[in-house]
A and B are shown apart, each in its own frame.
Chain A
Amino acid sequence: MANVPVYEWSLLEAARAVREKRISSRELTGAILARIEALDPKVHAYITVLREAASAQAAACDEEQAKGTVRGPFHGVPIGLKDIFCTRGVRTTCGSRILHDFLPPYDACVTEKVLAAGAVVPGKQNMDEFAMGSSTETSFFGPTRNPWDLSRIPGGSSGGTAAAVAAAMCFAGVGTDTGGSIRQPASLCGVVGVKPTYGRVSRYGMVAFASSLDQAGPIARSVADAAALLGAIAGYDRRDSTCVDLPVPDYLAAVERPVKGLRVGLPKEYYEGGGLSADVRAAVERALKVLTDQGAEVVEVSLPHTEYALSTYYLIAPAEASSNLARYDGVRYGYRAEGATGLIEMMSRTRAEGFGDEVKRRVMIGTYALSAGYYEAFYGKAQKVRTLIRDDFTKAFKAVDVLLTPTAPTAAFRLGEKTGDPLTMYLSDIYTIPCNLAGIPGISVPCGVSADRLPVGAQLLADSFREETLFTAAGAIERALPWRRVAPVEG
């Protein structure tokens, strides 16, 4: 570790170093803040950098540790938060103008858990507006750039978090995933991202996009780091009615388990379409070879309704979003349009001026899909197809332990490349969306590079609450295909 810069340490190394008093939280935090200062003007991974608050937190951690108190497993270690998690008294924007000045009156459950684990929060990370996007280009605060190639997007919607982790502007971060928003940017930024089982992590205080699909999860530079961070944020919370009361296993212990005998399914529909680029296919095949070389068994499976997942998602998510985002009406918080003469005009102009194009587009689709005369044909239909998609997975997991697929059809694309055509952009999430519809867990782990030397991730999916299987398989791939973890950031 001697010749590796402090900011490049893994989350677990940094935590151990603080615990063993080989480094102070102030030094660790200082290194991260300096890194942010140097690189973030180029990358723009943060919406809000909490220089003073983080320094004060670090000082308090050091003081406590001197007295023998350790808050938790990440005592004194900087961990970033996507700007979708409410932080009491600290601006939380969700990447939107409509919340540009919002100071939450409370902490999200994830915020509480990250703080209770002892972490220092260096800042709130950039994201697509209300998590609607696959490139972080819809953020009101401007796009984040991919640290591996600044002309490219980092993926999205948790693009700020993935980029910050890849560029070592934090040791790990927590993002959210509604249709791939953790896994797709993790893949494009060459880091590990986990979408846990629906109900595994509390949604309390996480600004809602599509409530039946949203889940928070870790983004980190190693499988072990991601496993440890998930262990800290998972668990029952009585404030979220959809949070499941099940014990949290020792995820870290699963990372080094052998994969011998593991049944790996290859869903043929994921490899058939024309959208999958050859280099991504090759990288995923290398990951498969790692598993089979170590004694895993390959099973070809079929998820016959895969081709309907995107349509299903683009009805259910906007419908829920149209209702979830109705509260941004200029009455209690956030942006309000000036000079309106009546209530309806105030609300309509507030929302027209406060939301960006992608958000408005989805609110419109969702409102339409729920409106009188269209409900059954659109929303009702999508809910039924959702059942068929779930049933596909239930059937598949009778035959296999884990499914291996690409995370995204291509490596990172260029800024502006897909902003003109919403449907093309939506196709970026074609492999990640079914997982959210089924509620099952998924992980993206780096497995190679594209022809342009850009990171490529493999996606693993398991049955509900089988995150351990994901960590075992991903751990094996990571060990066999070592990957330069920190992006060089050259631009």
Chain B
Amino acid sequence: MAITREEVLHVARLARLAMSGDEADRLGGQLSAILDYVRQLDRLDTRDVVPTSHAIETGTPFRDDAVEPFGDREALLSNAPDRRDDCFRVPRIIED
């Protein structure tokens, strides 16, 4: 199944990956090949099969509702590419 350039660009937008048309074409070819390959799964009848999300079958464990402050805000903030006061700064949000 061939994936169109538009589809590739749509997925790239969803994934927030800037992409040129040429790149989309090249990647489109590779993605098509991979998706063609994985389509072999269609040969299996899985109507009555329960999906596996985890290799573990127990329920999720819980933590008690106790506060343990991390205590090193500076270490969390110091990696920020752009920082103003004690916040992470990002360029303006253009909605269109």
Asked if A275 is an interface residue, CB under 8 A from chain B, the answer is no
Q: List CB contacts (< 8 Å) of A88-104 with chain B.
A: 88-89, 101-103
Contact of B51 among A341, A353, A386 (CB under 8 A): A386
Asked if A398 is an interface residue, CB under 8 A from chain B, the answer is no
Closest to A340 in B: B91
Chain A 373-393: CB-based contact to B (< 8 A → 1; otherwise 0): 000001011111111101000
Contact partners of A341 in chain B: CB under 8 A: 91-92, 94
Q: Point out residues on B near A: beta carbons under 8 Å.
A: 3, 8, 11-19, 27, 30-31, 33-35, 37-42, 44, 46, 49-56, 58, 60-61, 63, 70, 72, 75-76, 78-82, 88, 90-94
Q: What DSSP secondary structure best describes chain B's contact surface?
A: loop
B52 and A241 form a contact (CB under 8 A) = no
Contact of B18 among A242, A326, A351, A378 (CB under 8 A): A351
Closest to A422 in B: B30
A342 and B94 form a contact (CB under 8 A) = yes
B34 and A105 form a contact (CB under 8 A) = no
Closest to B58 in A: A244
A242 to B80, CA, bound (A): 30
Contact of B27 among A88, A364, A378 (CB under 8 A): A364
Closest to A386 in B: B52
Contact of B16 among A333, A334, A351 (CB under 8 A): A351
B55 and A199 form a contact (CB under 8 A) = yes
Known: A384-B44, A439-B56. 4 other contacts (CB 8 A): A103-B75, A244-B56, A345-B18, A367-B15
Q: What DSSP secondary structure best describes chain A's contact surface?
A: helix
Asked if A360 is an interface residue, CB under 8 A from chain B, the answer is yes
CB distance from B62 to the nearest CB of A (A): 9
B46 and A343 form a contact (CB under 8 A) = no
Contact partners of B52 in chain A: CB under 8 A: 383-384, 386-387, 390
Contact partners of B13 in chain A: CB under 8 A: 348
A343 and B38 form a contact (CB under 8 A) = no
| A384 and B49 in contact, given A343-B94, A348-B16, A378-B38 (Cβ under 8 angstroms) | yes
Asked if A403 is an interface residue, CB under 8 A from chain B, the answer is no
Asked if A144 is an interface residue, CB under 8 A from chain B, the answer is no
Contact partners of A305 in chain B: CB under 8 A: 44
Asked if A17 is an interface residue, CB under 8 A from chain B, the answer is no
A242 and B54 form a contact (CB under 8 A) = yes
Contact partners of A340 in chain B: CB under 8 A: 91
Contact of A343 among B12, B55, B92 (CB under 8 A): B92
| A423 and B34 in contact, given A334-B79, A351-B16 (Cβ under 8 angstroms) | yes
Contact of A422 among B34, B72, B91 (CB under 8 A): B34
